[in-house]
Structure formats: structure tokens, C-alpha cells
């Protein structure tokens, strides 16, 4: 194929072949081209660094942020700060559904949360190649307004300009990824400069619902599995080794999505390449490790699951809309996420979490010249602020789900 040939031209294919089957070779060749595109686009551009204005743990004692490197999560609407390796699944609710999520990985600090009574994080990953796992459970509150395709993946908040040569390289990479995993949709978004009007598409990279590695359907009235259940890996339908049948099962599931049942999904398939804890691309000969921040840009990244409204032909016979516009999406799940070592700047962090720093709450205490007094004030404010926001913490007994 063209993409693999290009990878061979750059001397990469010999190392790629050791990774496994042809579909994986295609995927890695695509990633190789993306890396080459990145290197070309970065000529003469200074490397990025973490902003000195990023939010710091000590500025937000009321959030009780645990130690260790992790992914941090902010819900829509803003409801505080959450993180991976939480002791209990994180409850969420939006216009369409209620649900829970659990994103976990081996602990990165001996003082961090090590797991729950039923799921010890370090033990779970022993002998596995995956670096992390995501489990999502949701129940519809109302019938979907239309029957469309479902996608999950990431969105970026703004358009990133790229030279035409880089766009062509990325397009070739997307072709390879489609051959590897099927119906991926990737778009750099619409360039707002010189836009003639109409809705702009955000940068998007999403996969069809059958790219989840596992799903569990719990009929209405039955008890859905706990996301930390010891037997969770053996439940429901799993994709590995039965792709054709699994895709058919997911298609039947999405066709029958309705209020009442509880739907549970798990994803870990690309985690051995995507190290979100160290924020690096890994496991690809000659190309990695590679800083994800240099590919994705400034935080946050939006993780999402949505139903896409079918396109309709214009009355004047114009081409049907193929872009994944916001007006065509009904979100079942959408969160902002970033690495704890590469947070957004303070103003963005506070807008996403709905939390202000202790100094801001004190109305100017940052001007206090006594650091010990300042720290004491922060601690007192933190204790005062914890209780009013208790309804938004991740404890499942505080947000009633199902």
C-alpha cells in the first residue's frame, strides 16, 4: 500500500515488521508518517514548555488532589476536579444520560490511591501489555432525537494551522489507520481565517463504537456490574479474536439504545502505544518516545462519545454534509482531560473545574508577605470549601446513578 511504501522509503519498515500482523504494520506506518509530518512542521520552531501560569496543587487545597502523576478530568458542566485511579467510579450526568466512569492504571506514587476493595490497580495490570483501561457505564434519560452513527474519541478546542504538505501526509496516515481499525474519522477542523460563514468544524479524531474492546448490556430492571467487579473482564462481549461477530453485536446494540437498560463499555486497545500518564507516544521503533503535547497542543483534550445526526441533502441539491459539526452531535459523554504535569493555565483550569484558588477566595490574600500565614489561610479556606462542593465529588453515594 502507498503508506507502507512511504514508510519503507524512509527506512522504517524493517523495524515496523517486528511488531506483528499486517493491520498493525499499517497502523504503525501511519504513525510513522504522522511523526515525519510533525518533524517537518517543527523546523525552526522552538520547543514548547509548560507555562509558569499553570495551576499548582498548593493553590487549590480544597480539591484535595492526591499525589502522583495522573490524568485529571473536568466534567461538563463544571463540577470540580476528578482524576484517574479514583477510589470509586466518577459519577456524571448530562441532558441525555446518567453514568459512571473509571479510568485506571498502575499507581505512580506509593502515597496515591492503590485501588478499591475489589480492584487493586497494580495487581490488575501484572502480565498485561495495556498501560491503562477506561470503563464507562451509562443509562439514557430520554430517547435519542434521531438514529445516527456513534463515535468516541477526542476533540481539540481550536484549529491548528498546518502546511499543505503536512495535511497531505496526515491524510495518507488516516487512510492507513482506516485500513487497520476501520471507520476512523479524522479532521484538522476548519480554518477560521477567511471563513465565508456557516458553522466551523473542530479538530476531531474519533472511532466507531465497535472500537471499544468490551461491552455489557444490562436489561432494564437488572443490576449492572460494578466497574470495579473482580469478574468484570469475563462479562458481556469482548472484541479480541472475533472482530466480525463483535461488530455485528455492537451494531445491534446501538440500534436498540433506549432508556431503561444500562450500557457498559471498556477500552484499552491502543493503550500500549498511548502512554497518557507520561503523556508520550510509545512502542514504535525509531519514532518513540514522542511527547504527545507536541502533537496535540495546549491542554485540555476533550474525550467524548456522541451520536451523529444523519446528513440531509440540501433542498437545492447541494452535497450532503460529511463534517462532524457540533450541531450534528448529541453527546452522551464529554469531559476535558489533561496530564497532571501539564495543566491548563490558571484561568482555563478554574473555568473548566468551576473552582477558584484559595488566594482568590480570600479576596487578595496572595499579597500577604508572610508565607506561613498564607499557607494557613489556604488550609482553612480549603476546609471551608470542601463541604459546599461535596455533591460534585466522585463518591458514588453522593450522586445517585441508576
Return the ∠ at Cα 270 (arms to 264 and 274), rounded to 5°. 120
User: What are the residue boundaries of the structural domains of the chain, listed by start?
Assistant: 1-45+169-185, 67-158+202-310+324-355
Q: Once rounded to an integer, what is the mean pLDDT over residues 124-133?
A: 95
pLDDT value of residue 281: 79
Instruction: Quote the DSSP letter at residue 389.
Output: G
Chain centre to alpha carbon of residue 257: 23
178 or 65, which is more confident: 65
Taking alpha carbons only, the member of 177, 209, 161, 134 closest to residue 25 is 177
Measure the CA–CA gap between 130 and 270, rounded to whole angstroms.
8
Q: Which of 8-22, 99-113, 271-285, 344-358 has the lowest mean pLDDT?
A: 8-22
Q: Once rounded to an integer, what is the mean pLDDT over residues 26-39?
A: 52
Determine the angle formed by the axes of helices 22-41 and 164-181, rounding to 10 degrees. 160
C-alpha cell at 265: 463499555
Q: What is the pLDDT of residues 83-104, one digit of tens each?
A: 999 999 999 999 999 999 999 9
Q: Once rounded to an integer, what is the mean pLDDT over residues 45-64?
A: 70
Q: What is the pLDDT of residues 250-300, one digit of tens each?
A: 999 999 999 999 999 999 988 888 888 988 878 766 666 778 777 677 889
The order of strands in the sheet holding 204-208 is 82-83, 71-75, 329-339, 301-308, 149-155, 204-208, 185-187
Measure the CA–CA gap between 267 and 276, rounded to whole angstroms.
14
Instruction: Quote the DSSP letter at residue 395.
Output: -
Residue 48 has pLDDT above 70, yes or no: no
pLDDT value of residue 52: 56
Strand partners, 262: 218
pLDDT value of residue 298: 83
Taking alpha carbons only, the member of 308, 272, 396, 355 closest to residue 59 is 355
Amino acid at each position: 500500500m502507498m503508506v507502507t511504501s512511504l514508510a519503507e522509503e524512509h527506512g522504517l519498515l524493517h523495524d515496523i515488521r517486528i511488531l506483528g500482523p499486517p493491520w498493525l504494520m499499517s497502523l504503525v506506518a501511519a504513525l510513522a508518517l504522522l511523526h515525519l509530518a510533525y518533524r517537518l512542521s517543527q523546523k525552526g520552531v522552538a520547543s514548547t514548555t509548560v507555562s509558569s501560569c499553570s495551576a499548582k496543587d498548593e493553590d487549590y487545597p480544597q480539591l484535595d488532589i492526591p499525589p502522583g502523576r495522573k490524568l485529571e478530568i473536568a466534567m461538563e458542566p463544571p463540577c470540580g476536579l476528578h482524576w484517574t485511579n479514583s477510589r470509586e467510579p466518577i459519577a456524571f450526568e448530562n441532558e441525555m444520560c446518567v453514568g459512571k466512569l473509571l479510568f485506571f492504571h498502575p499507581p505512580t506514587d506509593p502515597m496515591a490511591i492503590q485501588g478499591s476493595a475489589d480492584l487493586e490497580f497494580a495487581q490488575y495490570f501484572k502480565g498485561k501489555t495495556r498501560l491503562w483501561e477506561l470503563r464507562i457505564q451509562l443509562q439514557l434519560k430520554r430517547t435519542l432525537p434521531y438514529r445516527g452513527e456513534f463515535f468516541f474519541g477526542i476533540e481539540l478546542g481550536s484549529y491548528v494551522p498546518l502546511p499543505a504538505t503536512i495535511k497531505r501526509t496526515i491524510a495518507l496516515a488516516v487512510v492507513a489507520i482506516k485500513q487497520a481499525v476501520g471507520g476512523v474519522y479524522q479532521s484538522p477542523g476548519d480554518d477560521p481565517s477567511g471563513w465565508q460563514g456557516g458553522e466551523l468544524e473542530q479538530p476531531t479524531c474519533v472511532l466507531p463504537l465497535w472500537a471499544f474492546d468490551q461491552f455489557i448490556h444490562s436489561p432494564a430492571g437488572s443490576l449492572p456490574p460494578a466497574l470495579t467487579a473482580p469478574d468484570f473482564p469475563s462479562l458481556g462481549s469482548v472484541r479480541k479474536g472475533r472482530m466480525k461477530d463483535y461488530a455485528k453485536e455492537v451494531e445491534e446494540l446501538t440500534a436498540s439504545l433506549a432508556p431503561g437498560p444500562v450500557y457498559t463499555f471498556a477500552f484499552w486497545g491502543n493503550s500500549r502505544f498511548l502512554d497518557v500518564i507520561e503523556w508520550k507516544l510509545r512502542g514504535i521503533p525509531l519514532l518513540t518516545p514522542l511527547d504527545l503535547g507536541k502533537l496535540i497542543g495546549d491542554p485540555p483534550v476533550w474525550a467524548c462519545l456522541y451520536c451523529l445526526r444523519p446528513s440531509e441533502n440540501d433542498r437545492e441539491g447541494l452535497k450532503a454534509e460529511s463534517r462532524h459539526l457540533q450541531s450534528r452531535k448529541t453527546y452522551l459523554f464529554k469531559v476535558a482531560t489533561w496530564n497532571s504535569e501539564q495543566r491548563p493555565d490558571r484561568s482555563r483550569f478554574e473555568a473548566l473545574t468551576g473552582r477558584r484558588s484559595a488566594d482568590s477566595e480570600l479576596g487578595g490574600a496572595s499579597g500577604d508577605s508572610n508565607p506561613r500565614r498564607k499557607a494557613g489561610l489556604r488550609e482553612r479556606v480549603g476546609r471551608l470549601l470542601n463541604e459546599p462542593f461535596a455533591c460534585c465529588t466522585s463518591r458514588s453515594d453522593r450522586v445517585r446513578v441508576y
